[in-house]
Structure 1
Amino acid sequence: MDRTTIRSMTVEPLNIPLLEPFAIATGSVTEARNVLITLTLQDGSVGYGECAPFPPSTGESQETALAAARGCIDLLVGQDVAHWRMLSKLVHSLYFTQKTVCAGIEMAILDALTRSYGIPLYAFFGGASTRVETDMSIPLVTPERGYQLAEETVKRNISTIKVKVGGDLREDVNRVEAVRSGAPHLGITLDANQGYTPNEALLCLEALDDRDIRPLLMEQPVHKDDLAGLRYIMQHTSVPIAADESASSLAAVSNIITTKSANVVNIKLMKTGIVEAMDIAALCRASHMQLMIGAMIESRLAISASAHFAAGLGGFRFIDLDTPMLLAEDPFSGGYEQIGGIYDLSEIESGLGISLH
């Protein structure tokens, strides 16, 4: 039996409270209700994976993710993680509606494999760089709270703020204006999480323009299936438009590129899994489509996987990997060293470099 054969696999709930409720256009959360997957190989190498289901975005819950992940135990024990693409295909073929589970299992497999090989995961992905710089998100809060959070972000030495919009237009514009006042020198991106009609999105950008605020990006202004609306907005503004919920698979991204419906694609490992995310990144590169990486409500574990992915592949223009900063506690250590908004991976010796407290 090879040293990289899976000896055991465990699946357990991973619940982490948030510092404060996080509200976006599709719902509000008070805690991360995720799933932790732990693989142990014959040589003793341990790999960790995290599934972060978010019902409004992924159509999965913690309960369905736990059931699907547990269903994979008999499937995977005894398999060799060196055949990671084959194992990914196997899991996707059976649990194709549980994408966060596919992502968590691929994460655990690649973490275990690269730990066994003694190389950091970012090097395995290509070693293009050893760091990424994240923004900080501000949810659907009052302008006063937005102003406070913006000031706190400045103190944290983070250079870009992502403001959630997609609710009441006037409130949205007031929130963005308050954030600009609290952090006058920081870049601002907007994320509507499918909350606008095409006209509302343009009205929002117009109102901000009147106040001399020009966002670096507007993400997913309209419903995920409304590519015509996405394209309409893009044709009527010079602000880059990003597809997030619309960019749910390789096929969907291919369609966005063909129909010229966005300028930027937001890759999230939880939407597609890691193998498909690699294909999406390659397709975007070939089509001169700008890349962004984002996350669901994920802990340091899954965020470090995304950081290794983005740093290893390189070429990501927008990085939105701030969710560990929204959590009230951190069950993990390692994965990256954080300095301001920068996640530095250069000290990681093997795998994700994550350990459980």
Structure 2
Amino acid sequence: MNVQLATFTLALVLLAAPLTSEAQQTERVYRIGWLSVGSPSGAVDARRAFSEALLQLGYKEGRTLLVEDRFAEGRSDRLRDFAAELVRLKVDVLVSHGTPAGLAAKQATTSIPIVAVGSGDPVGSGLVSSLGRPGGNVTGVSAAYRDIVAKCVELLKDVVPGMSRIGFLGNADNVVNKAHFTHAQAAAGTLGLAMEYFSATKPDEVGRALAAMSRARVQGVIVTADVVITSRQGEIVEFVARVRLPAVYFVDDYVDMGGLMSYGPNRRELFRHAAVYVDKILKGAKPADLPVEQPMKVALAVNLKTARALGLTIPPSVLLRADHVVE
């Protein structure tokens, strides 16, 4: 009886082995292109959030999914070549971070699906024809900075009521950044404030832009989420602390590093939602049919320790609206 059972079990194992082997051989491995004007170090949180979301959706990076990273290290002129390279690799989906990368990806292909993440104005920049019906091969997750930049101006004015001149730190090569400045400048004008644009188109230009801002004697600064700018977060926070310059940032990471205030969407959430769109596309959805997502929540963060160091009192009206407070 035992011999018969053993023989039967062995037969089942032998029959199952080819099926298992065949399943392993035919398991699809997807290839995702990741295109950014920034650096790997500046994308750690975004990449981690993206990878974790994909894992929760059933993809195992390195096994069922490969990510081809292309970082331009602050050189926008390299984006076109990197985008073309990813197209030649025949990636299944191309994920772009920021408007310049999204535009380079769109220029490189009309057939590979593109998930554009973090653009402040996908329609105004020409990435999509509309948010609800993107059309073409591009969809994504917008950061909607155009809608919040006026609020950043108001926050600075609330915290420093006597200010008259604000700096705007951005990247002149980023068309959306320039549009944001126009909106911010209009908002500043209604409050009786002057605003000046300070640009860094490469990471090593950030220091010069900060120095120019200091010489211009601005009394506050708005720091954008352009990838070139965020690649030098530590340098920016250290500089504005040294010259005692109040700042409001589009990205919340700054506040935990010692920045005064931030107002904007959570970048990690943007990339988690991007992973959901990648999953839908890999399962057959068309980018043209996927509306560009807007941030579900825009959060205000305040660092009270930094406020005290700057000799500022955060008004109760601002603190009551804060979603995150660093004591």
Normalised by the size of structure 2, how large is the TM-score? 0.30
Larger-Rg structure = 2
Q: Which has the larger share of helix?
A: 2
Normalised by the size of structure 1, how large is the TM-score? 0.28
